[in-house]
Amino acid sequence: MSIKIDYKANPFCLDDEAIKWVEDTFASMTEDEKCGQVFCPMGFSNDDNVLQGIVEGAAVGGMMYRSGPAKELRATHRKIQDMARIPLLIAANTEAGGDGLSFEGTSFGKPMAVAATNDPENGYRMGYVACKEGAALGLNWSFAPIVDINREFHNPITNVRTFGDDPKKIEAFASRYMDGADECGVAVSIKHFPGDGIDERDQHIVTSVNSLGVREWDESFGYIYGSLIGKGAKTVMVGHIAQPAYVKEINKDATKEEMLRPASLSKELLQGLLRGKLGFNGLIITDATPMVGFTSAMPRSRAIPTAIMSGCDMILFNKDLSEDIGFLKDGLKSGLLTNERLDEAVLRILATKASLGLHVKQREGRLVPPEDAIDIVGCSEHRAFAKEVADKAITLVRDEKALLPVNPGKYKRIYLNVIDKEMDPCSDFALMWKEKLEKEGFEVTVRDRRTRITPMDFMDVENLPDKKKALLNEMYRSVSEMKKDYDLYIYVCNMENASNNTTLRLNWNVLFGLGDDAPWHAKEIPMIMVSTAYPYHLFDAPMIGTYINAYSGNEDFCNAVIEKLMGRSKFEGVSPIDPFCGKDYI
């Protein structure tokens, strides 16, 4: 295999001086440096000795830090760039704003909220805000935009992280995100190839499957990736997701094992589809390799060199960095990985860095901006953009009995049930909603979901401790008592998606409808459900006639919901997905 990289073509577009830097730098590298360059470990420390071991010792090509204090992260980025002989790619999950890198960054809104505004210009603002704030801290690589298609509503990891289920809308918003990132000098990484959101499982804990046929894939994910690659996306993040139809299309003799191999280890999907059919010339990085979707596919000693040999250029995260580098070197010795393929990966990494001008910035001492650049992080202009998105995103899915708008004259006494993982009526989120409603003049009682009611409690009520007996009396009311005590029941569901969380479903904290948690009283008392995260709760609560999707639980979105509940602001959001989950009976 001869190395064929067109440095002057999309997405590198290098001039002769930049090409010379790539070639000269490559020629100066030892084998150890080449092996280190293909790794992008997670940053977990700012200790000089630790960082020297990673940056100078292992000679990694990039690093990624999770969100932290802005000043601390900027200082760490400065430190590691000063240590590095070859400038580093500094990455972050800036999927939904500057808060993807720093605590103080602007929380712009989840991608689905941005899509619900129905205005791709907000996609541009999202990319600009996220990358402008990140770049102020030294970021040059955004692991965004997410271009997955949320067609399987049971999928626990995609939903509000996506721009929805319409490929054309996804492409439009992702394209404008790219424009914002480009303006800030930050490379994007479109993800997660070959496409998440089709399987109901999570690649963090299993190799999930994109089960679309070839034609269906071409018309959906193929359309999105083809368009964004043509536009100049510099990098693609490959998921631990199988795509059996395309493996078979490219390799008629593919075995079942090969068809169900994650894309991060699939030569057919990486070289045949992504490099070949889609013509991608840029850098390919794996998704995080400690994920079970990767680690369970084959022994790690084989998987690390196989990922590079199959077509990936960089490895994201490690079980153990020194061990993984050892696995890569062993692969070179055994022939599992060729020197030619390793060289190609390193050259694409260097070309990506040159395309961002990192070699020039290193020479001029500009890899990390001066300290006063941090002032842009969370600035008032960016927060104003975020508030506008919140106002335009909130979606009224249905209001069957015309309950809205509400006011204390109609519904003075509100029973508020906040459903989240904390189950704490005194959590900051629950108290925020209580205080906002009370400020409007309502009397608000918050349901304590920490208390579980069972039939045994009723059978043995005389022997219950006084505290439990009091709680039982408070939470178990007859129909007439509930109607007498409350005028309006509001559910606020803040069930956020997260990795390693296999389901996002409503689970009532009662048995057989006992108590006041489950909506047994939907036909007895006016009832509203507001979802601040997961947009598909109607699947579990079809009896609730007034349902609102807010897509985000940050305060800007909660404020916008209150404004709309009170009738001071119109609902403008257009749902980017089918909130009825394809069920015409909901």
Question: Which listed residue (165, 196, 287, 391) is catalytic?
Answer: 287
Q: Which residue has the tokens 């496409």?
A: 195
DSSP string for 507-539: --SBSTT-SSSS-TTTTTS-EEEEESS-TTGGG
> From CA 558, how far away is CA 552, in angstroms rounded?
8
- For residues 513 and 478, the answer to whether their CB atoms sit within 8 Å is no
> From CA 489, how far away is CA 325, in angstroms rounded?
57
> From CA 529, how far away is CA 82, in angstroms rounded?
52
Write phi, then psi, for 492 (nearest 5 degrees): -120, 110
CB within 8 Å of 349: residues ≥ 6 apart: 37, 38, 61, 89, 283, 313, 314
Q: Report CA 197 to chain centroid distance, whole Å.
A: 12
- Name the 3-class secondary structure at 315: strand
- Partnered with residue 235 across adjacent β-strands are 189, 283
> From CA 53, how far away is CA 83, in angstroms rounded?
10
For 205, counting Cβ atoms within 10 Å of its Cβ (0-12 exposed, 13-18 middle, 19+ buried), the class is: middle
Q: Is 287 a catalytic residue?
A: yes
Closest among 335, 357, 361, 328 to 58, alpha carbons compared:
328
Radius of gyration of the chain from Cα atoms? Answer: 26
DSSP string for 440-495: TT-EEEE--TT--B-HHHHHTGGGS-HHHHHHHHHH---HHHHHHH-SEEEEEE--
CB atoms near residue 458 (< 10 Å): 12
> From CA 43, how far away is CA 113, in angstroms rounded?
29
- Partnered with residue 43 across adjacent β-strands are 65
Q: Which residue has the tokens 């947009």?
A: 535
- For residues 283 and 260, the answer to whether their CB atoms sit within 8 Å is no
Residue positions annotated with a catalytic role: 287
